[in-house]
Amino acid sequence: MYKIIGADHKEYGPVPPEQVRKWIAERRADAQTKARAEDGGDWKPLSDFPEFAEMLVAQVPAAPLSPPKIGAVDAEKLAAGIIARDYRLDIGDYFSRSWKLVQENFWLLVGATAVALVMGSALGFVPALGIPAAVLLTLVIQGGLHWLFLQRLRGKPADMGEVFAGFRLAFVPLLLAGIVVHVLVAIGLALCVAPGLYLLVSWRMFVPLLILDKGLEFWPAMELSRKVVTRHWWPCFGLFLLAGLVGLLGALAFGIGIFFTLPIAVGAVVYAYEDIFGTGAETNGLLALSSPTPASPPAPPPEPMPAPMPPPSAGPTPSAPLPETSPAPPPEDSPPSPAPPSPTQS
């Protein structure tokens, strides 16, 4: 018997190995899914269990492709659907879940955040480009970092290379989004602080992931984010502000602490995206269906396999016998119908 931790960080089980194999076959569990035997032991990936290793190797997917493109019309429908069903921001829960996610993937997420910070800082020293290049590529770098967090909170395998997903999967849309966002926000802040702040909150948090996760072009992604964020702009502003404060809090510790506080802030924003736009609204990855259900009870002992069927004969195979029924008696004034020929007659 085994216990499993789903992408929603809930514990499922104990379940027999047959149930675990079923979850693997349904792609609701993968090599990175944490599990342990019921009789004790540490939590470890399913790939470390020999009884599941062969099935997991056969399940290894091909190299990921770019997400399918969603047109502007579909983006409008998605925005209308999210606004119609509405959503609620639980900022405290996002930070709590993010803290747990960082604990479980500490070196990966902290290291990826450090790489993104160093990459953004290094762009400022590029000759003839400098700070403008760092500003315009902000959403490209942010998109890769958020993409890594999104894969891990969904329980999918991810490595440090996902930090560069923005350059690999959607460089042009992210670059164009970065240019338009920073230009329009700068104009809004120059003319009046309120419009610039409104656009900053509406675009900076979710646009990179909408481009990478939904495959949107830059303007449909910006409009989708703006319409949905406007629905609850003040709670989104609170999340944006608190994430910024938590991220910068580490700078007080000689600047080094930002590598540990910023991942928590990033994770909180990504959890908010998942609950509003992502699969969390439909299926939240591993074992998280539209309504969480308890683990399946232990499967009953398997029934003995039936004996193999004999090879078919040259003649037609007789159909399975139908249940015997008593035919209605014929009327007394009509002669009985002749009996049908026996199945053995030719």
Residues 33 and 148 in one domain: no
Q: Can you list the pairs that 312-320 forms with residues at least 24 positions away whose Cβ atoms lie under 8 Å? A: 318/343
Domain for residue 139, yes or no?
yes
On the question of pLDDT at 331 being above 70, the answer is no
Answer yes or no: do 44 and 130 share one domain.
no
| Same domain membership, residue 211 and residue 78 | yes
Q: What is the pLDDT of residue 181?
A: 94
Could you say which of 281, 298, 322 is where a domain stops? 281
21 with 148, same domain: the answer is: no
Could you tell me the residue range of the domain that residue 277 belongs to? 72-281
44/102 same-domain check:
no
Same structural domain, 124 and 86:
yes
Query: Is the domain of 46 the same as that of 142?
Result: no
- Same-domain check for residues 198 and 244: yes
CA distances from 291 to 28, 281, 283, 302 (A): 15, 11, 9, 29
**HEC states along the chain?**
CEEEECCCCCEEEEECHHHHHHHHHCCCCCCCCEEEECCCCCCEEHHHCHHHHHHHHHCCCCCCCCCCCECHHHHHHHHHHHHHHCCCCCHHHHHHHHHHHHHHCHHHHHHHHHHHHHHHHHHCCCCCCHHHHHHHCHHHHHHHHHHHHHHHHCCCCCCHHHHHHHHHHCHHHHHHHHHHHHHHHHHHHHHCHHHHHHHHHHHHCCHHHHHHHHCECHHHHHHHHHHHHHHCHHHHHHHHHHHHHHHHHHHHCCCCCHHHHHHHHHHHHHHHHHHHCCHHHCCCCCCCCCCCCCCCCCCCCCCCCCCCCCCCCCCCCCCCCCCCCCCCCCCCCCCCCCCCCCCCCC
Asked if residue 48 and residue 83 are part of one domain, the reply reads: no
Q: What mean pLDDT value characterizes the chain? A: 79
Residue 173 to residue 134: CA distance in whole angstroms: 16
**Count of domains in the chain?**
2
pLDDT tier, 22 (very low <50, low <70, confident <90, very high otherwise): confident
Q: Which of 10-19, 49-58, 76-85 has the lowest average pLDDT? A: 49-58
Q: Examine the fold and report which residue of 252, 281, 310 is the final residue of a domain before the chain moves on.
A: 281
- Same domain membership, residue 34 and residue 7: yes
Tokens describing residue 136: 């315009």
* Confidence (pTM): 0.64
Q: Is residue 122 part of a domain?
A: yes
Band of residue 305 on the pLDDT scale cut at 50, 70, 90: very low
pLDDT of the residue at 279: 63
Higher pLDDT, 61 or 331: 61
If asked whether residues 47 and 124 sit together in one domain, one would say no
Find, among 3, 287, 27, the residue nearest to 157 by Cα.
27
On whether residue 307 sits in a domain, the answer given is: no
Task: State the pLDDT at residue 310.
Answer: 44
Q: For residue range 85-125, what is the model confidence (pLDDT) as tens digits? A: 999 999 999 999 999 999 999 999 999 999 999 998 888 77
Domain boundary among 236, 261, 281: 281
Q: Note whether 108 and 14 are same-domain residues.
A: no
Q: Over 60: is that where the pLDDT of 152 sits?
A: yes
Tell me what pLDDT residue 241 has.
96
pLDDT digits (tens, 9 = 90+) for 208-244: 999 999 999 999 999 999 999 999 999 999 999 999 9
pLDDT reading at 265 higher than 70 = yes
Q: What is the pLDDT of residue 61?
A: 55
Residue 286 within a domain: no
